[in-house]
A and B are shown apart, each in its own frame.
Chain A
Amino acid sequence: MIRHDYSRVDPKRRANLDYKKKQFAKPEFKQQDYEHRLNYYILPPTAEITLEEFETWAINRLKVLSELEACSFRNKTPEETTEYMTGIINKYLPLRSNSSRSQNLQGERKKDHYSHFILRLAFSATEDLRRRFARLETMLFRLRFKDDDIRERKEFVSSLKLEWEEVGEDEKKEFGSELIAAGGVRKGEEQEWFKVDWERVPELVEQRRVFLRRGKAYVPQREQMSLVVAEFTKRLDDALELTARALPRLDEDDRLAPILAHLSQSFATPDAAYSSSDASIDGLSTITAASIDTLSTHFPMCMQNLHTNLKANSHLKHYGRLQYTLFLKGIGLNLDECIVFWRRSFKLMTDDKFAKEYKYNIRHSYGDVGGDANRRGRGYTPYSCQKILTEPLPGAGQNHGCPYRTFTVDNLTALLQKTGVNDRDLLRTVKEDVGKQRYHVACNRVFEWAHRREIKKVKDDGSWSATDLDTIVHPNTYFKRSWLLKHLGEGNVGVVNGGEKMEE
């Protein structure tokens, strides 16, 4: 069990403690009660949670934020984003309204509250991370605000006490035509306005969607959301700033530091552990060394590239072999077949040389040899996109890594065209993604294009949910999803799999 004293990281809160009240204050660190579904995250958590909860909750929230970011990278419309995210959120970070009468409301809200604050710690270190975190949290808040129960939302907003001055009847009369001209009034709409300092609604000002007078913006009722959201962002920005300043003190807690460091790293590319369920694909018969070539059409670019180079040169250097072997192991190729595969591929090599110099490494990867730990762990885990993207770049003659990262733009385009990706718009956006170092986004884009008909089908007939089509962050997921989509309607394969698809 751990207890983390959050008051250390929020000097603002500390400063607000009234010394007169202090002596009567009840001991802290008690369970908080969550009256509302939505949360401005003003008060830091005070109850104890386990180290495991600490990490799991944070990873779940990170998953949601990463998917949101992927939506914005892919320019999804707000409607598409809402549709896509609903499944993701329900799975990883459900947050139901009071009216749902769910038994676990308090538990959901606690997880939401704590995970937010944990990520705040993880992402306050650099300005870049802070900005990104605030942007994504704002998106999440907006998404939830929009679909909140109308009555409960109203209660939440009034609980915020945002100091909005209501525009009185006198002013409404005096500036009637200006108010209507600025905000545009729709039929049947309540004609109510708030008055706030214009700095609080910069977007509305920029687009001339509010009436301004002497530094005050007259905001129509319907724009309330942008006010609430802007205020959310502002408070979060301020709080992150404060957390950043208090952060060095946190290093003292050596149990949390590695977890937080790992979290902020995975923010670069969402990490995903390999799951053994990725290897068991319904309808896919046992994979043999001979079937790899056929199956390689379902491989992501990083593996297809290794496969092609292996065929062309009858050889791959160490890191390429390792990356590829683990991937093959991940799709379900057993050790014996894997050895056969490499032996056949290294055509120009004597059996003796192969046995001496290469076989051992393959067996080691499978956990067939090596120390106890290696064997118990059944060898190495197949590499995730994050792992592949953070490895050293390949040198001359090496082919490992992610082509979206390691290839020049021209070579990447040629490679994509060779594999049948020839849509000009797609190639252009891929170029943009790569320019912004969003390699996994580019890869997902290519996947979606290559499987566009199948994806449409499973979406239309509802056989796959949004979570079944979430962002791919592991080469083995890429393979599995590609294979399933291309074999729809063949036997059992309509079902993605029985249970959990990804281990967290």
Chain B
Amino acid sequence: MPQADAQPLKPEPEPQAQDVTMSDTPSPVQGSNDKVNLEDLFDDEDSDPEFPSSVPQINSEEEPSQTEPIKITPRSSFSDPEIIRAFYQRLFPFRYLFQWLNHSAAPSNDFAHREFAFTLPNDAYLRYQSFTTADLLRKQCIQMLPTRFEIGPVYSSNPRERKTLRKASAFRPVSKELVFDIDMTDYDDVRTCCTGASICHKCWSFITMAIKVVDVALREDFGFKHILWVYSGRRGAHAWVCDKRARLLDDSRRRAIAGYLELLKGGDQGGKKVNIRRPLHPHLDRSLEILKRHFQTSILIEQDPWGAEDKYAHLLQLLPDPTLRAALQKKWDSSPSRASTAKWADIDALAKTGALSKSSRDLLEAKQDIVLEYTYPRLDAEVSKKLNHLLKSPFVVHPGTGRVCVPIDTRKVEEFDPLGVPTVTQLLTEIDEWEGEEGKDGGKKLQDWEKTNLKPYVEFFRTFVAGLLKEEKGGVKREREDGGDAMEF
């Protein structure tokens, strides 16, 4: 019987591990009563065209809808235990999650030594959970009904057995995807449309801009190919860089990437947050090109940051030219609520009339800095710097909104609508509504997610995982071929 132990990672919420009775948790160790039999693991009759053979069949996931239809009423809440259970039973794509983290079809330590951390309905936080198969992960989810779970690194040995190791050094994190976390809270000083936890389409464009800038840098500059962007369920996005080269980075290299991408310094104290040398580094130059286009609409028109009387002081503060500043101050004091677009245009207009004591080059650079201050990605860099940092799994339900943390297709990043992301209750209703049409589909039984609006997201994820596995397979082969006897010791 493995002890599920709860270790506090974050200061809040206060973990209440002691209160969690684990006596009836199914054992995740193979050979118990749980039916993970080898035949299932090596079942060749797989209908999935993308993984034609030797893919572990997770039978229980394939169980279609013998379970009774869930009664979703308008009053059902997405945190009801029944809702959560049905979600894990019928919708969560455990199989693709397994393949994603395992990097091959046959179970390996990449998955078995991976840490999962569960947040339980009573807010207890269980760290160092691990599972040998997707089905065991699924069983524990159904058993414990975590409101969400997080994914940590692959360790050098099984996380559940870390305390039995003689030497503490035998238990250390070995690899994990390079991750990024972009959250709207970091934009509060430039966001005017909403406050706190709420978002709208206007402010979502901050996240869109961030994804564009970071994604292209990771691909073009660092050469990564397998980058999964995931909606965080409320007001942000996560990135998982899954290339092997990224997974093996140590902390100092992770810090280097975070530093490379980080630009804004200085917190909320006001003042200038952008201090960069010229000529602009190619990454910043490219970012500026991307962001300039968004600045006109997303910032000047939609956020209108300097429209109000008490707001344009900050803009003046960011302009280094005293003569120009005085001229603008005079103009805006007489019509304080001129829209931001007009005020932005005033800068060049007045500069052209000669109200400039410094060079126009200085002014151009100051304006570039302003564009960057208002648009450049604001990363929660600490998340990226540590190999052993945990991050919420894709496809879990955000406990505050009920929305599923679905992948974002960066090829259509502008079309992504966070407010249109399905909620768990909506999805379960869709399964129920589908029931009548079952069987029309030429015999092949559909999986529940295929009957819902989750379908495109799961399919996108499946394709992403397939691409990753394909590359890993090639990589392993190559290593075998030219590694040869260099692997002796």
Contacts and interface: CB of A to CB of B under 8 A. Distances in A.
B253 A182 contact: no
Given A11-B489, A202-B256, A207-B259, A215 B282 contact: no
Main secondary structure of the interface of A (DSSP, over half): helix
Interface residues of B, number: 26
Contacts of B259: 205-208
Given A127-B169, A202-B256, A215 B222 contact: yes
Interface stretch (B13-21, B42-50, B273-281, B392-400): B273-281
B255 interface: yes
A487 B332 CA distance: 70
B217 to A, nearest CB: 8
List 6 A-B pairs, minimum CB-CB distance, nearest first. A215-B223, A206-B259, A202-B256, A212-B221, A214-B223, A181-B279
Interface string B268-294: 000000000101111111000000000
Contact of A180 (B220, B253, B279, B284): B279
Contacts of B488: 15
Given A127-B169, A199-B253, A205-B260, A181 B282 contact: yes
A473 to B, nearest CB: 31
Contacts of A299: none
A211 to B, nearest CB: 6
Contacts of A283: none
Interface of A: 11-12, 15, 127, 177-178, 180-182, 184, 198-199, 202-203, 205-208, 211-216
SS class of chain B's interface: helix, strand, loop or mixed?
A: helix
B245 interface: yes
Contacts of B255: 202, 206
Contact of B221 (A11, A127, A207, A213): A213
A211 B224 CA distance: 16
Contacts of B279: 177, 180-181, 184
Given A177-B279, A212-B222, A213-B220, 20 more contacts: A11-B489, A127-B169, A178-B282, A180-B279, A181-B280, A181-B285, A198-B256, A199-B249, A199-B253, A202-B255, A202-B256, A205-B256, A205-B259, A208-B283, A208-B284, A211-B281, A213-B223, A214-B220, A214-B223, A215-B245
A206 B282 contact: no
B249, B255, B256: most-surrounded residue (chain A CB, <10 A): B256
30 contacts: A11-B489, A12-B489, A15-B488, A127-B169, A181-B279, A181-B280, A181-B281, A182-B281, A198-B256, A199-B249, A199-B253, A202-B253, A202-B255, A202-B256, A203-B256, A206-B256, A206-B258, A206-B260, A208-B283, A208-B284, A211-B281, A211-B282, A212-B221, A212-B260, A213-B221, A213-B223, A214-B221, A214-B223, A215-B224, A216-B223
A347 B259 CA distance: 66
B252 interface: yes
Interface string B236-248: 0000000001000
A353 to B, nearest CB: 54
Contacts of B281: 181-182, 208, 211
Nearest to A180: B279
Contacts of B301: none
Nearest to B248: A199
B371 interface: no
Contacts of A216: 223
B259 to A, nearest CB: 4
Contacts of B222: 198, 212, 214-215
A205 B284 contact: no
A211 B222 CA distance: 10
A186 to B, nearest CB: 13
A182 B258 CA distance: 17
Nearest to A244: B169
Nearest to B280: A181
Nearest to A175: B282
A123 to B, nearest CB: 16
**Highest count of chain B CB atoms <10 Å: which of A205, A207, A216:** A205
B446 to A, nearest CB: 41
Given A199-B253, A206-B260, A215-B222, A15 B489 contact: yes
Contacts of B220: 213-214
A238 B169 CA distance: 16
Contacts of B245: 215
A184 B281 CA distance: 9
Interface in B256-270: 256-260
B185 to A, nearest CB: 25
Contacts of B489: 11-12, 15
A213 B218 CA distance: 10
Interface string B194-230: 0000000000000000000000000011111000000
A138 to B, nearest CB: 13
Contacts of A207: 259
Nearest to B243: A215
Nearest to B281: A208
B176 to A, nearest CB: 16
